[in-house]
């Protein structure tokens, strides 16, 4: 017979288990098998690397180059440079030079288990595991990577979500990314690539070994994909939905069956303090014109411009004082209930306005008597002073001095007193694009921000949310569901794709072609580094007023354009790599541009990509 204390311990344990949130205990999730195998590979167009006429790679594995009917085998650690000249690619390795024509393949071959087997691009720490096809398209080198589906996910999941996020959220991301990739591979078989490596599909940046949590999430969901009506679903996802999921047919003009998606409120996305929010706070009462945000005065003065002009007032924001705001609300959803994508903003307020008189510029002073009496011929050149020989005895070229213009002060306008308008005004303002633009509430290019109003005793705050299209899974919502509420990835996916079922593909092996025995038996040439992009030296002394800066605001695998003029359409002189030191000579009149120099070249870059190092 069991003792009473033993029964009490068992009852206590059962109570704990009941009270634990779902997913707190590690449980395996049984996923039924899918018909057939997962596609062995996907083809990714690598555009983020911004390759034009030169490619530098290091081979961390067994690779051969196939071009013009030749096969060249390279040892691990080999550095290759491929240059585009006159429409043809040329391969350089150590002292070897090969005309590769207009198409070349860097093909991967088997290595021992556990060894790295991929390509590293110059100045990029990630490994790209796959075959790389290079072609010449429109005067540039075009890259398509053929990579196993599971290997591909290692370059997607930790970039679409942080590797530090909860494991179950990463698992949900792995399933969504895998389903999306396999769907695209099925649909694009007639094209020469399936996906691009940016947000037009999914961000792909290669594998980095330090992302261990993402690797665990991929392994523990191996082969799992989402299905609807026995077909692969399209698992759309975005960073934040703003508190409500969106329907796919509201975003894309498509006749596809998205019956596995619905529109629902998402409290998890709203709860995440890291979800993107843009705000403007409006005081209910003001005593001075500047106490109301300039953005609000700009919006209201624009709406009232005709009324203000008709009454003789200045329609500029500087001349509109918002005295009281008694109501702010949003309404008129763009879509049928339960949509909260509101399109109209209503503001009730009182205001004061003032007149403005622009000062007249001073008239030009009359010529002096001496100037009036002086005879001037339009056909006889004024006498030129004789040039003075230089110390070397040479006579310099004659230069006509340019007179320095005397700056004229800009006449200041004269303002009248503020006159209170007694009656309150209610304006109905379209949110898209008027209020969104002028109040700086924009987050997306979709014009789909979720707008809400929060009222306190003294203020109204207009808030905008939604970072992305809002369809399917919210990544910020998944983070809270897994991290705070202990929900499993199956529960997360069930919330965001309520009509979708999960099935597990048998993961096929992406077979690598074997290498001819003589290539394995004969030692290749000793690898030696080839010319590759390096950071330019900066040894010059700082000119007066200049300062040092470094290129920091770009990705490790990206570059910054150094241009011949402060304009994005100007000629690109050189591509600058991350951590390139520069001398900043001056800020340009063109906003956000600076003139910079190294020991090698001088040009213009956008200042936002630089970090100041030290000032002399």
CATH number of residue 596's parent domain: 2.30.30.40
Percent of the chain topping pLDDT 70: 83
The domain boundary, picked from 405, 440, 462, lies at 462
More confident residue, 591 or 21: 591
- At 588, list the tokens: 């340009």
Question: What are the pLDDT digits (tens) for 478-487?
Answer: 999 999 999 9
Q: Is residue 270 included in any domain, yes or no? A: no
Tell me, yes or no, whether 309 and 431 share the same domain.
Answer: yes
pLDDT given at position 357: 94
- At 304, list the tokens: 């009232």
Q: Which residues contact 318 (CB under 8 A, 6 or more apart)?
A: 289, 297
Question: What are the pLDDT digits (tens) for 515-554?
Answer: 765 665 544 444 444 444 568 888 888 898 899 999 998 8
Is the CB of residue 557 less than 8 Å from the CB of residue 48? yes
CA distances to 55, 61, 110, 529 from 77, in Å: 16, 7, 15, 9
Is the CB of residue 87 less than 8 Å from the CB of residue 136? yes
CA atoms of 190 and 294, how far apart (whole Å): 54
Strand order in the sheet with 62-67: 70-74, 62-67, 103-109, 131-137, 140-148, 41-45, 195-196
- Mean pLDDT across the chain: 86
- Count: domains in the chain: 2
pLDDT given at position 533: 56
Q: Is residue 424 included in any domain, yes or no? A: yes
pLDDT given at position 537: 86
Q: Is residue 576 included in any domain, yes or no? A: yes
454, β-bridge pairs: 461
- How does residue 392 score in pLDDT terms, banded at 50, 70 and 90? very low
CA atoms of 276 and 466, how far apart (whole Å): 7
Tell me, yes or no, whether 303 and 438 share the same domain.
Answer: yes
Q: Is residue 295 included in any domain, yes or no? A: yes
CA atoms of 582 and 610, how far apart (whole Å): 9
Which structural domain, as residue segments, surrounds residue 597?
547-615
Question: What are the pLDDT digits (tens) for 241-256?
Answer: 999 999 999 999 888 9
pLDDT given at position 519: 60
Summarize the confidence of residues 412-434 as an average pLDDT: 96
Least confident among 112-116, 287-291, 491-495, 584-588: 112-116
How far the first Cα of the chain sits from its last, in Å, is: 86
Q: Is residue 323 included in any domain, yes or no? A: yes
Least confident among 165-174, 193-202, 218-227, 379-388: 379-388
More confident residue, 517 or 379: 517
- How does residue 574 score in pLDDT terms, banded at 50, 70 and 90? confident
Question: What are the pLDDT digits (tens) for 289-318?
Answer: 999 999 999 999 999 999 999 999 999 999
Tell me, yes or no, whether 319 and 440 share the same domain.
Answer: yes
Q: Is residue 236 included in any domain, yes or no? A: no
CA atoms of 106 and 84, how far apart (whole Å): 16
pLDDT given at position 568: 82
CA atoms of 462 and 439, how far apart (whole Å): 9
Is the CB of residue 610 less than 8 Å from the CB of residue 569? no
Tell me, yes or no, whether 352 and 454 share the same domain.
Answer: yes
The domain boundary, picked from 432, 462, 492, lies at 462
Q: Is residue 343 included in any domain, yes or no? A: yes
């Amino acid at each position: 017979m069991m003792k009473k204390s033993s029964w009490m311990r068992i009852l206590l344990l059962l109570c704990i288990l009941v009270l634990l949130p779902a997913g707190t205990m590690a449980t395996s999730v049984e996923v039924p098998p899918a018909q057939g195998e997962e596609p062995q590979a996907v083809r990714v167009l690598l555009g983020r690397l911004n390759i034009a006429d030169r490619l530098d790679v290091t081979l961390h594995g067994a690779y051969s180059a196939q071009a013009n009917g030749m096969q060249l085998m390279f040892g691990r650690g080999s550095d290759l440079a491929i240059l585009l000249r006159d429409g043809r690619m040329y391969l350089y390795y150590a002292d070897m030079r090969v005309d590769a024509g207009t198409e070349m393949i860097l093909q991967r071959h088997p290595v021992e288990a556990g060894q790295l087997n991929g390509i590293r691009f110059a100045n990029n720490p990630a490994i790209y595991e796959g075959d790389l096809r290079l072609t010449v398209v429109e005067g540039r080198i075009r890259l398509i990577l053929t990579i196993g589906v599971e290997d591909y996910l290692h370059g997607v999941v930790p970039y679409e979500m942080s590797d530090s996020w909860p494991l179950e959220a990463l698992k949900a991301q792995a399933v969504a990314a895998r389903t999306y990739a396999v769907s695209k591979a099925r649909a694009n078989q007639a094209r020469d690539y399936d996906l691009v490596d940016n947000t037009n599909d999914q961000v792909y940046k290669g594998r980095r070994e330090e992302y261990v949590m993402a690797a665990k999430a991929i392994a523990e969901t191996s082969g799992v994909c989402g299905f609807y009506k026995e077909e692969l679903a399209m698992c759309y996802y975005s960073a934040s939905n703003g508190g409500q999921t969106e329907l796919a047919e509201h975003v894309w003009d498509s006749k596809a069956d998205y019956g596995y998606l619905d529109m629902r409120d998402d409290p998890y996305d709203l709860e995440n303090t890291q979800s993107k929010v843009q705000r403007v706070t409006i005081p209910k009462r003001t005593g001075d014109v500047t106490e109301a945000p300039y953005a609000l005065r700009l919006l209201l003065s624009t709406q009232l411009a005709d009324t203000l002009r008709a009454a003789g007032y200045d329609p500029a924001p500087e001349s509109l004082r918002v005295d009281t705001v008694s109501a702010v609300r949003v309404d008129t959803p763009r879509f049928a209930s339960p949509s909260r994508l509101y399109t109209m903003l209503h503001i009730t307020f009182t205001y004061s306005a003032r007149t403005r008189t622009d000062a007249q510029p001073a008239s030009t002073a009359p010529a002096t008597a001496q100037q009036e009496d002086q005879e001037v011929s339009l056909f006889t050149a004024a006498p030129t002073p004789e040039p003075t020989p230089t110390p070397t005895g040479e006579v310099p070229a004659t230069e006509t001095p340019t007179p320095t213009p005397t700056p004229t002060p800009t006449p200041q306008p004269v303002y009248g007193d503020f006159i209170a308008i007694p009656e309150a005004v209610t304006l109905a303002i379209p949110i898209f694009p008027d209020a969104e633009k002028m109040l700086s509430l924009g987050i997306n290019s979709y014009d789909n921000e979720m707008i809400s109003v929060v009222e306190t005793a003294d203020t109204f705050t207009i808030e905008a949310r939604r970072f992305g299209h809002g369809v399917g899974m919210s990544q910020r919502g998944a983070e809270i569901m897994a991290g705070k509420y202990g929900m499993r990835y199956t529960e997360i996916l069930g919330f965001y794709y309520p009509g979708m079922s999960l099935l597990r593909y048998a993961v096929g092996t992406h077979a690598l072609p074997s290498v001819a025995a003589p290539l394995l038996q004969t030692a290749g040439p000793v690898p030696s580094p080839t010319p590759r992009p390096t950071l330019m030296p900066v040894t010059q002394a700082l000119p007066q007023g200049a300062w040092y800066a470094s290129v920091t605001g770009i990705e490790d695998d990206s570059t910054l354009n150094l241009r011949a003029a402060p304009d994005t359409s100007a000629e690109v002189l050189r591509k600058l790599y991350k951590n390139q030191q520069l001398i900043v000579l001056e800020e340009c009149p063109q906003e956000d541009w600076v003139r910079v120099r190294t020991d090698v070249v001088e040009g213009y870059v956008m200042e936002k990509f630089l970090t100041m190092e030290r000032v002399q």
